[in-house]
Amino acid sequence: MCGIVGIVGDRPVAERLVDALKRLEYRGYDSAGVATIRDGKLERRRAEGKLFNLETKLHAEPLAGDIGIAHTRWATHGAPTETNAHPHFTDGVAVVHNGIIENFSEIKDELIAAGASFSTQTDTEVVAQLLARYRRDGMEPRQAMQTMLQRVTGAYALAVLFHDLPDTIMAARSGPPLAVGYGKGEMFLGSDAIALAPFTNEITYLIDGDWAILDRKGVAIFDHDGNRVERPKQVSVAAAYMVDKGNHRHFMEKEIYQQPEVISHALGHYVDLIENRINTNALAIDFASVQSLALSACGTAYLAGLVGKYWFERYARLPVEADVASEFRYRDIPLSKNAAALFISQSGETADTLASLRYCKDEGLKIGAVVNVRESTIARESDAVFPIMAGPEIGVASTKAFTCQLSVLAALAIGAGRARGTISQLEENRLVRHLAEMPRIMSKVLNTIQPKMESLARELSKCSDVLYLGRGTSFPLAMEGALKLKEISYIHAEGYAAGELKHGPIALIDENMPVIVIAPHDRFFEKTVSNMQEVAARGGRIIFITDEKGAAASKLETMSTIVLPNVDEIIAPMIFSLPIQLLAYHTAVFMGTDVDQPRNLAKSVTVE
């Protein structure tokens, strides 16, 4: 979600702080602010809306100071106004915060009873008020910080300035990520390594319960009880990535067209393309000894997991329990010690997914993480890490991370099948050859279907409701297509299993309702065509996404038919993802929405 940046510098920091915040825009936000210390006095600038508004304010009212903290806020408590924007000030204390202080109401009532006056609607203000109160009670900053941390509960990443400590930032983490960066005579703080990439590639990640004191000489890290601890320093790869759109209008468009390249990178890690085998060294879980698999994730990652469920059950004959993490964590599921658990997350910081992981870990399961960020909390707390190698994904609506997740899950399912003896070596060779062909086929599709998708999107942008249908692995794709469309175009869309059409959704179909049917010519094709007949009989406007065999076999009249190459079932979900991504993208462009940063959404959801 929101972003934090801090610099203990040797020169003015305001401009650098805002530049770092720009690298965190992909996380989602609705206001922003920056605070510095100059001559023992805290100063700040805040603004609603995009960072441009904050830059405009800073241009009119420059902010001096060699130390500062900055923040992009995604509203949880209180409207996205300048008053509620961070940093919050109280009596010489400045605070920025990601997360939710769960006991803020209790603390706020206590502080008001003691005479405090609150100026915002946020939960974060109680942190600044507590610190100010402890300082008035005579505590030194370090003691005040530790006492405050023992008082608040919930999820938080915090950065704090004290006006009388002009070369120190204090920070704390319980849930949302926080990284410390090392410079020459400078120190940095950020929500992730991407924010710090222009300054340093030497990073230390705080773990839950840590808090830290940064000054120009370095960092001191303490656990929740105040004991000095050491955390490993590592070289981050984030600095290698340039966050720009290139020749594309939006990051989402760029990331759609990056998919053949990044999937090639992912497959190179998991597949021996000479022997047409899965690299057994990349499996990291002994699937032969696993009796069942628990799979959990949120949003698009969950839908990737649903496709993976079909693959693990078909190729590895492995029973799979798949849940959205926000439900999984509260179900009190009885889990066998012979089970393994896979958790899928682009950021590796998703709060519900992380909580589900910890539940399974407490139950003694072997934990695997399918993540894009190897340094993330989910990766660090897992027994086995399966990187998807998509590179930074800036658009909030996931595209390349989704297909990379699918590619990795496909490789894992094939490897699991081979390890369990449920597929032969010849079948493994055949499936891997199809995986190897996928980047070439994706490039061909992307180079040929855009004009048609753009034309179709113009028509779709006039609609208020859309249905997506699919069977087998195309059912999760139908849900993903609907999710993409509503995320960025704000058109109401729903994805259904095609066989469920007659159990409710068919009541919605009339001559104004577009129905997008995803149907490669696979073992489910004839059944899906029967469902299309039901739509056609009621005047529904069918958009048919199929392959060459499917187009030849179907005689139905459609609003539009998008024809893709004939491909094997193992790679069909990745290939058929492309038209649904492009359709959502171009529809949003025609509607003039903020494609990369759609309203109310955040890239990394680090609170419940």
Dist. CA 549–CA 300, nearest whole Å: 29
Sign of CA dihedral 89, 95, 98, 101: negative
b/e burial code for range 522-548 (CB count within 10 A of at least 16 → b): bebbeebbebbeebbeeebbbbbbbbe
Dist. CA 297–CA 328, nearest whole Å: 9
- SS3 state of residue 290: coil
CA distances from residue 76 to 99, 152, 178, 229 in whole angstroms, order as listed: 8, 17, 19, 32
Catalytic residue flag (residue 50): no
Residue 525 half-sphere exposure, CB side, CA atoms within 13 Å?
17
Alpha-helical regions (H) of 329-399: 351-362, 377-380
Dist. CA 556–CA 232, nearest whole Å: 62
Alpha-helical regions (H) of 258-329: 259-270, 299-315, 325-328
Residue 231's nearest CA partner among 169, 157, 181 is 181
CA distances from residue 315 to 288, 309, 368, 466 in whole angstroms, order as listed: 13, 10, 19, 33
Dist. CA 39–CA 164, nearest whole Å: 9
Query: Which amino acid does the sequence have at 268?
Result: G
Catalytic residue flag (residue 366): no
CA distances from residue 21 to 41, 53, 323 in whole angstroms, order as listed: 23, 13, 34
Dist. CA 389–CA 407, nearest whole Å: 10
Residue 2's nearest CA partner among 36, 35, 26 is 26
Spell out the SS3 assignment of 25-74: HHHCCCEEEEEEEECCEEEEEEEECCHHHHHHHHHHCCCCCCEEEEEEEC
**Judging by beta carbons within 10 Å of its beta carbon (0-12, 13-18, 19+), is residue 240 exposed, middle or buried?**
exposed
Omega before 87 cis (within 30°)?
A: yes
Catalytic-labelled residue, pool 57, 108, 400, 603: 603
Active site residues: 2, 603
